[in-house]
Amino acid sequence: MTLAFTPPPGASMEAVHHAGAAAGNTAVADEAVDVLRAALAGTVAVERILLKAAAGAGKSHVLKKLVTEAVAHPGCTRVAIIAFTNKQVYPLATALGKALGRDSVCLFASKKRYDDVPEETHAHATVVTSTAGIPVESKVVVATSHKLGARGELFRLAAHFTDGDLPEEPPPVFDVLFVDEAWQLPHHLFDKVAKAAPITVGVGDVGQLPPLEIGANPWRGDPGFNPYRAWPTDFDDDDHTVAIELPAVWRPAAGHLHLWRAFYPEWRELNCVAAPGDRALVADGLTGAAADIWHTVGTGVPTLLEIAGLPTPEAADVDQPLLGQIEALLDALLAADFALTRAEYDTTGTPTGRRLTTRPGDGGDPLITVLATRNQAVDDATDMVDRLRTKHSLAATDIVASTVDSWQGQTNGITVAIHPLSGATRLDEFNSSFGRLAVTCTRATHGLLMLTRPGLPDLLREAPARPGTPFGEPGGRQLPRQTHQRILAAFTSSRLTIQNWTAG
> Domain boundaries in the chain?
18-213+224-249, 254-497
Our measurement of the distance from residue 331's CA atom to the centroid of its chain's CA atoms, rounded to an integer in Å, reads: 28
Q: Same topology for domains 18-213+224-249 and 254-497, yes or no?
A: yes
Helical axes 288-298 vs 320-334, angle rounded to 10°: 80
C-alpha distances in angstroms, 331 versus 10, 252, 370?
A: 33, 24, 13
| 340, containing H or E segment | strand 339-345
Residue type at 225 in one-letter notation: F
- Coil vs helix vs strand at 147: helix
- Helix, strand, coil tally for the chain in percent (to 5): 35, 20, 45
- Determine contact, residues 209/184, Cβ cutoff 8 Å: yes
Residues of the chain with pLDDT under 70: 1, 10-12, 164, 207-229, 316, 465-480, 501-504
Give the pLDDT score at 470: 43
Cβ neighbours of residue 84 under 8 Å, at least 6 residues apart? 144, 145, 181, 184, 185, 189, 211
Report d(CA 271, CA 197) in Å as an integer. Answer: 34
Which CATH code for domain 18-213+224-249? 3.40.50.300
The conformational region for residue 124 under phi > 0 = left, psi -120 to 50 = alpha, else beta, is alpha
Give the pLDDT score at 469: 47
- Determine contact, residues 29/66, Cβ cutoff 8 Å: yes
Q: What is the pTM of this model?
A: 0.88
Whether domain 254-497 has CATH 1.10.10.10: the reply is no
* 43-84 tens-digit pLDDT: 999 999 999 999 999 999 999 999 999 999 999 999 999 999
Cβ neighbours of residue 9 under 8 Å, at least 6 residues apart? 489
Q: In three state form, how does the secondary structure of 246-263 look?
A: CCEECCCCHHHHHHHHHH
Give the pLDDT score at 218: 47
